[in-house]
Chain A
Amino acid sequence: DTEVTQTPKHLVMGMTNKKSLKCEQHMGHRAMYWYKQKAKKPPELMFVYSYEKLSINESVPSRFSPECPNSSLLNLHLHALQPEDSALYLCASSPVWGKNIQYFGAGTRLSVL
């Protein structure tokens, strides 16, 4: 099973809402990632977790709050987002050692109204 599952597939939220994106993998990978992709642009890294600890934060605004409750799950908590945060949010996972190939989910398409 090389699947990374992201839920929900689509999300519409207002600027005062609080919502969460969820990502799950059962490949035993101990590295997990959040990327953001605007329309017609390449993905850009937001966060990296290694062994459930945050190892890279690409200067992401605090209205995005990642969480890695266990080795299979990765959440992205959203609060007080802006319309410009509307994008496709992609989760990925990889082994930490050996062939560091990243496996991506299909993403959550977020619209902020």
Chain B
Amino acid sequence: DAKTTQPNSMESNEEEPVHLPCNHSTISGTDYIHWYRQLPSQGPEYVIHGLTSNVNNRMASLAIAEDRKSSTLILHRATLRDAAVYYCILRDSIQGAQKLVFGQGTRLTINP
């Protein structure tokens, strides 16, 4: 599986936007970029995924660089509940029962 690189930690303030970067310079043409997050004392939860185009859903936006070697998860207006570890994961297909290979992730702290 291609590797991703994320900052170990980031800090932001409540009600401000948060941009979480992810580098994946060895991404292949068929790799999808997935983001999961893990809130304290919970299992990971799916946030968003994309292939080439930017994606939006009710939780976040995903901005993918034109060369696909990096991406950014955007939380438009952070709340205290968004404090979590965010994982950027590459998947070579969206089909089939496949494992998720988690990196170290970014621990996001939100200040009130």
Contacts and interface: CB of A to CB of B under 8 A. Distances in A.
B95 A48 contact: no
Interface residues of B, number: 24
Interface string A42-77: 111100111000011010000000000000000000
B45 interface: yes
A94 interface: yes
Q: Which of A30, A45, A49 counts the most chain B CB atoms within 10 A?
A: A45
Contact of A107 (B43, B96, B101, B103): B43
Interface in A61-113: 90-92, 94, 96-107
Contacts of A90: 43-44
A56 B94 contact: no
Q: Which of A45, A96, A104 counts the most chain B CB atoms within 10 A?
A: A104
Contacts of B95: 96-98, 100
Contacts of B87: 42
A103 B46 contact: yes
A45 B96 contact: no
Contacts of A106: 41-43
Interface in B78-112: 85, 87, 91, 93-105
Given A42-B87, A42-B102, A42-B103, A104 B44 contact: yes
Interface of B: 36, 41-46, 49, 85, 87, 91, 93-105
16 contacts: A30-B97, A33-B97, A42-B87, A42-B103, A43-B102, A48-B98, A49-B97, A50-B97, A90-B44, A92-B43, A92-B44, A98-B94, A102-B36, A102-B46, A103-B45, A106-B42
